[in-house]
């Protein structure tokens, strides 16, 4: 199977492109690449599953979903996904979205750390949760064709994402052990996911 990676990674709207600008302004290259890969996996999985998400909403949410682990937007008292969701909602309001649609960005980002999201309730939240699980934990390789996995990862490489993100999640868990970051840290899935990706790409 071949895929047009450039087309797959291109923001679907002008607002989406501005979200990508925000991502690059406030994230490391490894974290930015993770967000772009997550969008790619979510988009491909949507097509394969016959799901019809709001692509602009999904792209914006994917780009901004991990801002809560960055030093600028880290919140000491609340889960990082809630902090990132708040940033996403503020971004959307600034982009001219109405309040309800802006709040959806926050919901999608918050729900990406759930253990599962019912697509019948929140299709964008479901896709982002599944896509980030694939990219972080190496769960669901069968959802995306091997050729697409390799092509996208070649275009936006993993760099030191697993090692760095494992440290960020651990730091979040130390401060906020009862949050989903604590659960993820205790599972060991970030480090294990990096090993699964290394084995797949070898």
**In this predicted model, what pLDDT tens digit does every residue of 25-35 receive, in sequence order?**
999 999 999 99
Q: What is the mean pLDDT of residues 128-142?
A: 97
Fold of 5-201: Hypothetical protein af1432 (1.10.3210)
Q: What is the mean pLDDT of residues 49-78?
A: 96
How high is the pLDDT of residue 199?
Answer: 97
Q: Both tokens of residue 43?
A: 């988009």
CA end-to-end distance (rounded Å), the chain: 19
How high is the pLDDT of residue 175?
Answer: 95
Residue 3 clears pLDDT 80, i.e. is over it: no
How high is the pLDDT of residue 56?
Answer: 98
How high is the pLDDT of residue 96?
Answer: 97
pTM of the model: 0.96
Residue 1 clears pLDDT 60, i.e. is over it: no
- pLDDT-based confidence at residue 2 (cuts at 50, 70, 90): very low
């Amino acid at each position: 199977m071949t895929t047009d990676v450039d087309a797959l990674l291109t923001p679907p709207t002008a607002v989406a492109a501005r979200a990508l600008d925000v991502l690059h302004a406030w994230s490391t290259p490894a974290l930015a690449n993770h967000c772009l890969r997550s969008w790619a996996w979510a988009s491909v999985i949507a097509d394969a599953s016959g799901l019809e998400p709001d692509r602009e909403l999904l792209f914006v949410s994917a780009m901004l979903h991990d801002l809560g682990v960055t030093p600028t937007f880290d919140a000491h008292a609340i889960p990082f996904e809630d902090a990132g969701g708040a940033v996403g909602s503020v971004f959307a309001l600034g982009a001219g979205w109405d309040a309800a649609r802006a709040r959806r960005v926050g919901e999608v980002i918050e729900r990406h750390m759930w253990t599962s999201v019912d697509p019948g309730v929140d299709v964008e939240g479901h896709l982002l949760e599944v896509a980030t699980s694939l990219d972080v934990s190496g769960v669901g390789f069968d959802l995306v064709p091997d050729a697409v996995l390799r092509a996208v990862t070649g275009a936006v490489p993993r760099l030191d994402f697993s090692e760095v993100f494992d440290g960020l999640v651990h730091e979040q868990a130390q401060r906020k052990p009862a949050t989903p970051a604590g659960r993820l840290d205790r599972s060991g899935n970030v480090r294990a996911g990096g090993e699964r990706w290394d084995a797949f790409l070898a």
